[in-house]
């Protein structure tokens, strides 16, 4: 009986690891997290299966980068690629410069997928990139995030 439980637990762990490995598949921003997530001067946060403000998030990943033009340029290129497939795009433009972008991507299975990008060049953390996967409605998550600002 104990052996059976161990086998079932092992299979469950492998399946859940596969799900999280597939997160961000087909998205250009995946390369940002892989390439720069553990680099010096970059802060990366990854949280799985937590609730935030009453919303259950399957995956939350964020990356904050100081004033590093090569990383910033790469992030912007990836955002532009993912933007082409977005269902909805919301932008904040200040003095003719795009400062924030919210991308509501097509669902992947049951998951709503969101990309949030903020360029605050005059502060220490110039660029913030956030990726969210949730079974919740993407519009509800966006309303919550925008309300909190």
* Rounded average pLDDT over 54-74: 86
Q: DSSP letters of 1-47?
A: -HHHHHHHHHHHHHHHHHHHHHTTTT-THHHHHHHHTTSTTEEEEEE
pLDDT band at 68 (very low <50, low <70, confident <90, very high): confident
pLDDT in tens, 78-95: 999 999 999 888 888 888
Q: What is the pLDDT of residue 125?
A: 55
> What is the pTM for the complete model shown?
0.77
């Amino acid at each position: 009986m104990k052996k059976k439980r161990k086998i079932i637990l092992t299979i469950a762990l492998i399946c859940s690891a596969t799900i999280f490995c597939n997160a961000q598949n087909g998205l250009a921003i995946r390369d940002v997290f892989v390439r720069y997530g553990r680099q010096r001067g970059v802060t990366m946060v990854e949280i799985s299966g937590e609730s935030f403000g009453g919303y259950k998030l399957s995956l939350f990943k964020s990356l904050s980068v100081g004033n590093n033009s090569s990383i910033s340029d790469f992030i912007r290129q990836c955002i532009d690629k993912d933007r082409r497939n977005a269902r909805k795009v919301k932008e904040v433009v200040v003095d003719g410069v795009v400062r924030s972008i919210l991308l509501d991507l097509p669902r992947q299975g049951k998951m709503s997928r969101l990309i949030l990008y903020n360029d605050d060049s005059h502060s220490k953390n110039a660029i913030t990139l956030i990726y969210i996967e949730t079974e919740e409605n993407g519009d509800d998550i966006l309303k919550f995030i925008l309300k909190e600002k």
